[in-house]
Amino acid sequence: MNSSLFIIFFVSFLLVGFATSYDLDHDDNEGGGGSSSSIQCTDDLPSLKFPFSTANFTCISIWLSKGFVLMYQHTNKNVWRFVLKASDNNGYISVGFSESGNMVESSAVAGWIPSNGNGIVKQYYLSGKKSSDCQPDTGSFDISKTTIVRQASTSKLYMAFQINSTTTPNTKLIYAVGSQPSSNDHMLPMHSSMSKSTVDFTTQSCLNCSPPPPSSSGHHQWHGIFGFFLAAIIWAATVSAKLNC
Ligand SMILES: *[C@@H]1O[C@H](CO)[C@@H](O)[C@H](O)[C@H]1NC(C)=O
Ligand SMILES: *[C@@H]1O[C@H](CO)[C@@H](O)[C@H](O)[C@H]1NC(C)=O
Q: What is the pLDDT of residues 160-208, one digit of tens each?
A: 999 999 999 999 999 999 999 999 999 999 999 999 999 999 888 888 8
Are 166 and 218 part of one and the same domain?
A: no
Top pLDDT among 55 and 83 is at 83
DSSP symbols for 75-95: EETTEEEEEEEEE--SSEEEE
**Same domain (yes/no): 181, 220:** no
CA 49 – ligand 1 centroid, Å: 18
* Number of independent structural domains in the chain: 2
Of 123, 144, 163, 165, which is best to mutate to test ligand 2, by the most ligand atoms within 8 angstroms of its C-beta?
144
Q: Tell me: do 147 and 226 sit in the same domain.
A: no
Tell whether ligand 1 has an atom less than 6 A from the beta carbon of residue 53: yes
Both 157 and 190 in one domain: the answer is yes
Q: 198 and 227 in one domain?
A: no
Q: 164 CB under 6 A from ligand 2?
A: yes
Helix, strand, coil in percent for the chain, rounding step 5:
25, 35, 40
- Kindly state whether residues 117 and 234 are assigned to the same domain: no
Enclosing domain of residue 180: 38-207
- Cα dihedral 130, 136, 139, 144, rounded to 10, equals 150
Whether 72 and 193 map to the same domain: the answer is yes
CATH code of residue 91 = 2.60.40.1210
Same domain, 134 and 198: yes
pTM above 0.75, yes or no: no
**In this structure, are 82 and 148 located in the same domain?**
yes
Query: Residue 6 pLDDT > 90, yes or no?
Result: no
